[in-house]
Structure 1
């Protein structure tokens, strides 16, 4: 694909579920169109906000087929194919290629501690086995393994490893990714919604933004206003999501996001158990923020 299309705001689209926790295909198709109509620059099924961590391999294929079919090439589709083992990651990545994904987003292996050399070899083997652009995915708080800037620099020299999503929350780490790959076309995306503008200002290309499931127009405008050169306006859009992100203190961010989309009137269901509960205090806080932001015109 044209790598210049890897940019902007890419929602890790939520996975709507029925009451029995099966995939709600009709609502997933609706969410695809809702986000594309808002101007998003890509879609990322079964990422963290899409509950990829709790979907079976068969369900991931089901979700990807639906998203690819409904997207119809309007924006690139990113598939989260990272697994604990190299062999299973390759298997999932080949499935994603067959189904029609444009880009692979591959999270680091989890649970067992991996050395930087083991991480390098893991990604190298996957890249050699699957001819698709690969975005590395660094989220050490969830996986227990962190991609060091030096390792990312090494991996950036492999032709189809084209970028990295950094969800460490450490801006200096993201800056080092940018600095150590600045002499190439390597793409750095923010995985932390509060750092998207700062990533862009530092030379990054955008963000994979969970909040775009709730406020797609607002998130898209962080990028679009930046591209237009209106940094002040981009900053206004960036700052406007703070009140919603403050709700993350009430529970798992995935659950907060999916609950908010449900409260907006979309029948997306709950997150899959056991990650499905929020306190009444948390639900009331989300309702309050959604109403306040509605009055401000956020959407």
Structure 2
């Protein structure tokens, strides 16, 4: 099995201009922000990137921009799910041709798919791929449940499936089941905006693939835990939870407002109608961000 990609791989949100075009200058600024925070890699075109509201042309331009901005100095994971085998296979090949280190791949958005149908889908895409595929396991977004035994078969029989991002809740129990049935070789990544991070780490995740507008906070938790400072890691984890749980129904708008408050984004615009934050809610979130930053500063 290939060397594991370990650590923090934040998902890049997609900034927009006032006319709702992709703001590529701000995207470059976001990449530089994460590079300075010394994350281990980046993920683009994930669910919180508003990927379903981007055109194929925008997706390609975003991936090119991110890959050019990192200068080959860190791995980039690219979301490549397109709903059915042919367009997904094409997106996977394109991502690797452009230079992505891995692709993040959900099953089709059909919760009624059987385990065997999920298995066949991944194996078909795998047959034409030329790089690492990471399974996205997130039934809360309309994807089907992916049973542990199906993951085990895919890892055993495929050429390129070498990881899974777990968002089936409670995620730490799914992670425990995967570790018990598949072992330590499978790279497993936590997610869920860091809401279960400490318990996911207890069960042996190799990294985190999620939105992380303040990556230094997640890094602190990660470093404290991996250096044996478990109690201190737990304190930091608890300090992160109010912000992680704030307005769960609108995670993209929340993360964008945090980035706006930090001066990374010029606005908090989202493409999905009705998902914007009202001024009072945005102000409440800004106050919570400031409180969280102070709490983490006190923990240093």
Normalised to the residue count of structure 1, the TM-score between the two structures is: 0.92
Task: Give 1:253-264 correspondences, 5 Å limit.
Answer: 253-264=251-262
- Find the aligned partners of 2:102 and 2:40 in 1 and give their Cα distance: 13
Q: What's the CA shift for 1:48?
A: 1.5
Residues 207-265 of structure 1 show CA distances to partners (whole Å, capped at 9, x for unaligned) of 1121x12x11111122222222222222222222111023124x411111112211222
Task: Give 1:108-187 correspondences, 5 Å limit.
Answer: 108-111=107-110, 113-157=112-156, 158-170=158-170, 171-182=172-183, 185-187=185-187
Residue pair 1:48, 1:254 contacting (<8 A) in 2 also: no
- Find the aligned partners of 1:234 and 1:133 in 2 and give their Cα distance: 31
- Find the aligned partners of 2:189 and 2:232 in 1 and give their Cα distance: 20
Residue pair 2:239, 2:296 contacting (<8 A) in 1 also: no
Residue pair 1:188, 1:206 contacting (<8 A) in 2 also: yes
Residues 271-290 of structure 1 show CA distances to partners (whole Å, capped at 9, x for unaligned) of 11315412344213202201
C-alpha RMSD over aligned residues: 1.9
Equivalent residue number for residue 97 of structure 1: 96
- Find the aligned partners of 1:129 and 1:268 in 2 and give their Cα distance: 40
- Find the aligned partners of 2:29 and 2:71 in 1 and give their Cα distance: 14
Q: SS where residue 43 of structure 2 aligns? A: coil
- Find the aligned partners of 2:226 and 2:275 in 1 and give their Cα distance: 38
Q: SS where residue 281 of structure 2 aligns? A: helix
Q: What's the CA shift for 1:188?
A: 0.8
Q: SS where residue 121 of structure 1 aligns? A: helix
Structure 1 segments unaligned to the other structure (5+ residues): none
- The alignment covers a number of residue pairs equal to 294
Residue pair 1:247, 1:282 contacting (<8 A) in 2 also: no
Task: Give 1:135-284 correspondences, 5 Å limit.
Answer: 135-157=134-156, 158-170=158-170, 171-182=172-183, 185-192=185-192, 193-210=194-211, 212-213=212-213, 215-249=214-248, 251-269=249-267, 270-274=269-273, 276-284=275-283
* Deviation >6 Å, runs of 4+: none
